[in-house]
Amino acid sequence: MESIVSTRWLLARMYESELVIVDCRFVLSDPEAGRIAYTADHIPGAIYLHLEEQLSAPVGSHGGRHPLPDVTELAQVFSKVGMNKDSIVVAYDDQGGAYASRLWWLMRYLGHERIYVMDEGYSAWKNAKFPVSDHQAVRIPSQFVADIQYEMVVGVEDVQEVVRNGGPLIIDSREHRRYLGLEEPIDAKAGHIPGAVNKFWKDVLDEQGRWKKADPLKEQFADIEQDQEVIVYCGSGVTACPNVLALTRAGYKNVKLYAGSWSDWISYGENPVAAGEE
């Protein structure tokens, strides 16, 4: 299933009744920046969903910096903004697709297949002189029924098992220097999960910031067997999602998200930490 749509595709369909456009802009260092940007202007009809308020659960002692939201509460959020089984949902951000991919992953986790990420992001839309608005759409609530795909996610015990006994390939989606343990700007410990290989999430985009098509992605992931079970993580389970999307686009069928990611892994003192190249 294709998961990326172009700005022109969205422009042609933006007033269709079953379409729900979601603005997912967010800046980690300034959690209000995305909402402020949305209030200033956005794609007409778009609603805003906030990474930390709606697309994550409150932070606890475990679960990482952006724990998965409670699925019942998330289904209520989707219902409230007018989503149902017939909705065609298009998510966008202005951060390379990182936060739009989080919504893409969450909706698929809740069993909704008709979810797409807009290529290039909001700046490209605006630079193309496509319409923008500061009007905040009022959506009529609907009934979103979740059908949880439990096999899409793994927890810390599953990853501990892989570290002990092997099996699935673990992919670290963070910048190479963070993977190596040379720097750690956010989390309490530097390094990576032992045995993990590094595939920086931004490498799924080309030089123009567009998502790579299936063939270049297949080439990029050529060192991974197509039938290999893969577990993807990042710092907090957000920027792993573009890698999950890209692997899916390249034809990988058995890709799972370690939702708590590095920030969850290091919250257990007994978990081993590796540094340097594997």
Of 264, 262, 239, 227, whose CA–CA distance to 104 is shortest? 239
Supply 256's token pair: 């799972």
Count the neighbouring beta carbons within 10 Å of the beta carbon of residue 133: 12
Active-site entry in 124, 234, 244, 250 = 234
Distance CA 164, CA 55 (A): 32
Q: At what angle do helices 240-249 and 98-109 cross, to 10 degrees?
A: 70
Supply 63's token pair: 């679960």
Distance CA 264, CA 250 (A): 28
Residue 234 appears among annotated catalytic residues: yes
Q: Give the distance between the most distant pair of CA atoms in the chain.
A: 54
Count the neighbouring beta carbons within 10 Å of the beta carbon of residue 186: 13
Supply 31's token pair: 């959690």
Supply 263's token pair: 């920030």
CB-neighbour burial class of residue 100 (10 A; exposed 0-12, middle 13-18, buried 19+): buried
Question: H-type helices in the chain, by residue range?
Answer: 7-13, 33-40, 71-80, 98-109, 122-127, 156-165, 176-180, 214-220, 240-249, 261-265
List residues with catalytic annotation. Answer: 234
